[in-house]
């Protein structure tokens, strides 16, 4: 198995989630054990059997230009705001770069679902003349990547992986390839999703994929929990600024994307392969390309949506791939607090994973207690877990899987922080 020619540095990040309007506030809310899941108050949800979701606060859109609020779907708006945050954070490292050598890779699972729903309603109620002429460019999945490229003047290519809930992580893998193949000098990569509307909730609910705990929204998302009953739909976006190690001054990297692995289940359009056979192949490929063994890891961040089939398939894949290391490696399931951001999940959660490595601790997995006895993993419980005090780089495995059998695994790293060793 070939090793990556050069490691990839993270030099900036931005995110919006149900827990915060940027990466720092989201991380602070995670550490404070807050939940981003709330009851939907609008009248359009009154007759739905699912009336809970994770939503980004409207105050997050206050600085977005009125023209973009009218001409961009909420999915693209979230990507624009996260992209601007990452761009600003990377200012020191991107200064002077040729814009034709800066690319964008932003994944999404669905894209402009809100626009599709709204414009179909307009068509049904008022006929063809009521349909917005920008309907198609607003709803197409690549709109977010295109809008970010336009907004920041980036001419090195705008790409959009559409691989359901693995899209954000797949975007990071593609960005890694672009940089290692010397097709770009900097890549803004991540994912965005805005599915919280009547059509989105009805569609996922019809699949019986969503939790029905309307009366207890903060307890509804229960990854790996014995009493889980489905995931909670959420919205958000995450964007990371990535560069080659050789182009980044020592000390500027926030963390590292060491390697990635991918596979496809080739099993079912919705259900994962139950034994996690192909998911484990993605995990093992990522570890091999990172040139590390399971015992070199200090933690795992699981995809873990809170569905019975998905959680068990991932647990079996991790047990198969990690062997005896799975007995003690802390496994963190962030969707207990965030809900499921679909195409935005892989990127927002990767930022959380890097923050976790830098802080030297793995957060608790909300609502995982009592743990499903079939999940034979060291899932973090009611409190955070401190990472070992060591001078070695801390390595973390991050998973992202999606409908259609898409499997992406990443190996992330961050140097130990002085505060963590104090």
pLDDT one-digit tens code per residue, 180-204: 999 999 999 999 999 999 999 999 9
Structure tokens given for 377: 């993993």
Return the DSSP state at 6. S
Identify the sign of the CA torsion 100, 105, 106, 108: positive
Share of the chain above pLDDT 90, in %: 94
Structure tokens given for 118: 């709204």
Structure tokens given for 230: 């489905």
- The pLDDT value recorded for residue 1 is 55
> With contact defined as beta carbons under 8 Å apart, do 297 and 325 qualify?
yes
Catalytic residues: 165, 303, 340
Give the global pTM.
0.97
Residues 6+ apart with CB under 8 A from 383: 364
Question: How many of the other CB atoms lie within 10 Å of CB of 221?
Answer: 33
pLDDT digits (tens, 9 = 90+) for 86-119: 999 999 999 999 999 999 999 999 999 999 999 9
- The pLDDT value recorded for residue 184 is 98
Give CB contacts under 8 A, 24+ apart, made by 27-32.
27/351, 27/352, 27/355, 29/337, 30/334, 30/337, 30/352, 30/363, 31/359, 31/363, 31/384
Task: Tell me: pLDDT of 121 over 50.
Answer: yes
State how far the Cα of 221 lies from the Cα of 268, in Å rounded to an integer: 24
pLDDT digits (tens, 9 = 90+) for 226-243: 999 999 999 999 999 999
Angle at alpha carbon of residue 29, lines to 344 and 331, rounded to 5° = 65
Strand-pair category, 8-16 with 255-264: antiparallel
Question: How many of the other CB atoms lie within 10 Å of CB of 180?
Answer: 14
Task: Tell me: pLDDT of 2 over 60.
Answer: no
Q: What are residue 234's phi and psi, to 5 degrees?
A: -140, 170
State how far the Cα of 47 lies from the Cα of 3, in Å rounded to an integer: 54
Task: Tell me: pLDDT of 415 over 90.
Answer: no
Return the DSSP state at 366. T
């Amino acid at each position: 198995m070939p090793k990556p020619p050069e490691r990839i540095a993270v030099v900036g990040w931005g995110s919006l989630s149900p827990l915060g309007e940027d990466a720092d506030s989201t991380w602070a809310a995670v550490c404070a054990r807050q939940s981003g899941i709330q009851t939907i108050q609008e009248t359009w949800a009154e007759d739905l059997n699912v009336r809970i979701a994770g939503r980004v606060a409207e105050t997050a859109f206050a600085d977005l230009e009125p023209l973009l609020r009218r001409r961009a779907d909420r999915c693209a708006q979230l990507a624009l705001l996260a992209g601007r945050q990452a761009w600003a954070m990377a200012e020191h490292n991107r200064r002077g770069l040729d814009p034709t050598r800066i690319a964008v890779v932003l994944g999404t699972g669905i894209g402009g679902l809100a626009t599709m729903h709204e414009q179909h309603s307009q068509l049904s109620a008022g006929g063809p003349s009521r349909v917005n002429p920008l309907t198609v460019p607003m709803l197409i999945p690549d709109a977010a990547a295109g809008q970010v490229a336009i907004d920041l003047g980036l001419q090195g290519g705008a790409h959009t992986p559409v691989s359901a809930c693995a899209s954000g992580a797949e975007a990071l893998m593609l960005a890694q390839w672009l940089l290692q193949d010397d097709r770009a000098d900097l890549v803004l990569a991540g994912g965005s999703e805005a599915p919280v509307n009547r059509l989105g909730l009805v569609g996922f609910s019809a699949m019986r994929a969503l939790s029905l705990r309307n009366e207890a929204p903060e307890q509804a998302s229960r990854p790996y929990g014995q009493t889980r009953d489905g995931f909670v739909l959420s919205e958000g976006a995450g964007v990371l600024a990535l560069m080659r190690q050789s182009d980044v001054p020592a000390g500027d990297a926030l963390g590292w994307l060491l390697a990635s692995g991918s596979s496809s289940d080739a099993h079912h359009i919705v259900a994962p392969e139950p034994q996690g056979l192909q998911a484990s192949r993605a995990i093992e490929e990522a570890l091999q390309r990172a040139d590390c063994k399971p015992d070199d890891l200090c933690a795992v961040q699981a995809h873990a949506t809170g569905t019975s089939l998905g959680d068990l398939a991932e647990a079996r894949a991790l047990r198969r791939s990690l062997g005896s290391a799975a007995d003690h490696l802390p496994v963190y399931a962030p969707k207990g607090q965030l809900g499921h951001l679909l195409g935005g999940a892989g990127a927002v959660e990767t930022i959380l994973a890097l923050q976790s490595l830098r802080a030297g601790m793995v957060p608790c997995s909300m609502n995982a207690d009592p743990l499903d006895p079939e999940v034979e993993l060291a899932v973090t419980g009611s409190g955070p877990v401190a990472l070992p005090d060591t001078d070695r780089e801390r390595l973390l495995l991050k998973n992202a899987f999606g409908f259609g059998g898409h499997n992406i695994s990443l190996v992330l790293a961050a140097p130990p922080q002085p505060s963590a060793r104090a």
